[in-house]
Amino acid sequence: MTVRVVTYNVHGCVGRDGRYDPERVIKVLRHVDGDVIALQELQWDPREALHLLEDFAHRLHYRPIAGPTLLRKTGHYGNALLTRLPLKRAVRFDLTFERHEPRGAIEALLQGPQAPLRVIATHLGLRPAERRAQMRRILRHLEHDHCHLTVLMGDLNEWFLWGRPLRWLRAWFGHMPAPASFPSSLPVFALDRIWVRPRERLLRLSVHNRGCASVASDHLPVMAELRA
């Protein structure tokens, strides 16, 4: 039995053509058809009866888990999880570093087909010192790992292959494939990552670049098939 997990930075649903178009993002999400999807840079207005996150979840038959990092009168912004797997528990923890843009992560314990699945979804900062501090906090959470299967995914914003956050993650998860996902027009950088422990539970990992994915956002979705 397999589970598909996906991470996707939707860039506020603004495509490479500068057009705000949630319908294109919906099409991409339908195509990737993940059991669990981590979204970054999602904007939604909680004042509306059916705001964007709820709309995505309703139309695609997911349960939504919100992880906003910016709470604004004009609408919230940040991370979200969409899951088809039963939710056992979800917590959000702060990763904000000094006075930089607020960052955070969602940690969810889900019921997989045969055993629990632990997912941490995040979006790290733009500066190296910021990412290092944020990764240390995430690793502290990972140390309390009593789950059969753990997945860390999101936009790690790590441009340097020799950067310490990636070295720390390799030490904990082992070597993982890292296909380029940014920029979506001609991917060069592997900013969007999925890490799986135990490593042998990863069956395949790839970038989705079909349909309108290369236009809907400046990032491409990354997806992984796991043996559940």
Listed in sequence order, the residues at least 6 apart from 125 whose beta carbon sits closer than 8 Å to its beta carbon are 95, 97, 100, 101, 103, 131, 134, 157
Q: Return the H-helix or E-strand segment holding 63.
A: strand 63-70
Using CA atoms, how far apart are residues 181 and 195, in angstroms rounded to an integer?
A: 15
Q: Return the H-helix or E-strand segment holding 102.
A: none
Q: What is the mean pLDDT of each run of 10 residues along the chain (228 residues)?
A: 96 95 96 98 73 90 91 80 97 92 95 94 95 95 82 94 91 95 96 96 97 97 96
Domains of the chain: 2-227 (3.60.10.10)
Q: Tell me if 152 sits within 8 A of 105, measured CB to CB.
A: no
pTM equals 0.94
Using CA atoms, how far apart are residues 117 and 183, in angstroms rounded to an integer?
A: 30
Structure tokens that stand for 211 in this block: 């349909």
Listed in sequence order, the residues at least 6 apart from 6 whose beta carbon sits closer than 8 Å to its beta carbon are 32, 34, 36, 37, 38, 153, 208, 221, 222, 223, 224
